[in-house]
Amino acid sequence: MNLPSEPIPKNLLFHGRNGDPRLGEWVQTLSELPLTSTPKESIVILGTPDDTGVINNLGRPGAKEGPNSIRKHLYKMAQPMDLMWEKELALFDAGNTPISPSLLKTHEQAQILTTQIAAEGHTLITLGGGHDVAAPHFSGFVQGRRKLNPKEKVGLINIDPHLDVRELENGIPNSGSAFRQILDSQIISGDGFVEFGTKSNRNSRYHFEYVKKRQVLVLTWEGLQTSPEGISKSFKHQLDRLARSHHSLGVTLDLDSCSEAEGMSAAPVIGFSATELYSLAALAGSQIKVKFFELAEVAPPLDIAERSSRIAAELIYAFLRARAIALASMP
């Protein structure tokens, strides 16, 4: 597949020493298709290194450096010893969306790329950038899936303290508008969308009323703390519920939901722990219908030792490992 994306720097594809292979030695470019082997699933990573939407939303810039920073730490990780992933997965890196001075043009390019990738049947892992990229990334994913199946019904879970349903300003998106764009476009129905971990003090009453009218299920962070099910079981319950009525699912995760990560556009104070988010990422990976997994808002310049990038890399690793295990259990 030839995509109009920009390749990542080769120095990100980390190689270990003899007897110490790393993920950077396993990941391939899309130009290496077709595969010599036929694993059960192919997964493609795509970044959109832009934080114009964050700036538009009066957030702290820096997220444009997120995608390559996350890759740097992901591709340094050791290849797993508990199972041979290559029998189950093929991992590709499509590079980055070309960034334009116009945010609308950048979004257009991101949507074109995700549509092309999804239309080939690949699972997508997308990296922001600001969380505004969720709109073009997910919209392109849905369009691509519907090229494979015109009747494809897609569900979505957003792990995020923010509802992100702000109105566009002068027709221009911002990092808080993605899910209003998705809902207003009607590419998914409100009852197929879950806002997970919403903080009551991070959203206006007006925005809560908007999602209520759209029949979106909102599970607040405060409510999850006292839920008899607990955080992981509540998340799995929603995954399984959506999986019963949808052909495919997406999960998008804003790292400002993590209380242990400070390098992001809206630094959290209270939120999910990195370990809790690792569990949620693994649950997403273990649900075979999840074909879209996104991480956004990592801003390395605002962090110490790129801690937030390291957490994001761990979450991707959790998703990949869980997906490999789930595929290995299939006949």
Looking at the DSSP bridge assignments, the partners of residue 217 are 194
pLDDT reported for residue 33: 57
Q: Quick one: 40 exposed, middle or buried, by C-beta within 10 A (0-12, 13-18, 19+)? A: middle
**Is the pLDDT score of 35 beyond 80?**
no
Residues in the chain: 331
Q: Which residue has the tokens 């709109």?
A: 135
67 alpha carbon, distance to own chain's centre: 11
Prior bond to 192 cis, omega within 30? no
Tens of pLDDT along 73-116?
A: 999 999 876 657 778 999 999 999 999 999 999 999 999 999 99
**Is the pLDDT score of 32 beyond 70?**
no
Q: Quick one: 151 exposed, middle or buried, by C-beta within 10 A (0-12, 13-18, 19+)? A: exposed
Could you tell me what percent of the chain has a pLDDT over 90?
82
Query: Which of 202, 201, 184 minimizes the C-alpha distance to 193?
Result: 184
pLDDT reported for residue 72: 97
pLDDT reported for residue 79: 81
Mean pLDDT value of segment 113-126: 96
Mean pLDDT value of segment 150-170: 97
Tally of CB atoms within 10 A around 86: 14
pLDDT reported for residue 185: 96
State the chain's maximal CA–CA distance in angstroms.
58
* pLDDT-based confidence at residue 187 (cuts at 50, 70, 90): very high
Cα 136 to Cα 139: distance, rounded to the nearest angstrom: 5
Q: Is residue 68 part of a domain?
A: yes
Q: Is residue 1 part of a domain?
A: no
Tally of CB atoms within 10 A around 134: 31
**Is the pLDDT score of 10 beyond 90?**
no
Mean pLDDT value of segment 64-79: 95
Q: Which residue has the tokens 């694993």?
A: 39
Q: Is residue 67 part of a domain?
A: yes
Q: Is residue 3 part of a domain?
A: no
Cα 238 to Cα 316: distance, rounded to the nearest angstrom: 20
157 alpha carbon, distance to own chain's centre: 10
pLDDT reported for residue 82: 63
Cα 138 to Cα 261: distance, rounded to the nearest angstrom: 24
Judge if pTM exceeds 0.85.
yes
**Is the pLDDT score of 142 beyond 90?**
yes
pLDDT reported for residue 80: 76
CATH number of the domain residue 208 falls in: 3.40.800.10
Cα 80 to Cα 177: distance, rounded to the nearest angstrom: 38
DSSP string, 236-283: HHHHHHHHHH-SEEEEEEEGGGBTT---BSS--SS-B-HHHHHHHHHH
Could you tell me what percent of the chain has a pLDDT over 70?
96
Is residue 197 within 8 Å of 161, Cβ to Cβ?
yes
pLDDT reported for residue 28: 87
Q: Is residue 265 part of a domain?
A: yes
Is residue 178 within 8 Å of 135, Cβ to Cβ?
yes
Average pLDDT of the chain to the nearest whole number: 93
Q: Angle at the Cα of 237 (from 210 to 198), degrees rounded to 5?
A: 35
pLDDT reported for residue 108: 98
* pLDDT-based confidence at residue 151 (cuts at 50, 70, 90): very high
Cα 280 to Cα 255: distance, rounded to the nearest angstrom: 13
Tens of pLDDT along 45-60?
A: 999 999 999 999 999 9
Domain that holds residue 167: 10-328
Query: Which of 201, 202, 198, 222 minimizes the C-alpha distance to 212?
Result: 198
pLDDT reported for residue 26: 87
Mean pLDDT value of segment 156-180: 97
Q: Is residue 186 part of a domain?
A: yes
Tens of pLDDT along 227-258?
A: 999 999 999 999 999 999 999 999 999 999 99
Prior bond to 34 cis, omega within 30? yes
Which token pair is 104?
A: 């609308």
**Is the pLDDT score of 217 beyond 70?**
yes
3-state secondary structure of 4: coil
pLDDT reported for residue 262: 87
Mean pLDDT value of segment 262-279: 90
pLDDT reported for residue 267: 76
Mean pLDDT value of segment 139-144: 98
Tens of pLDDT along 274-310?
A: 999 999 999 999 999 999 999 999 999 999 899 999 9
Number of domains in the chain: 1
Q: Is residue 5 part of a domain?
A: no
Cα 264 to Cα 316: distance, rounded to the nearest angstrom: 17
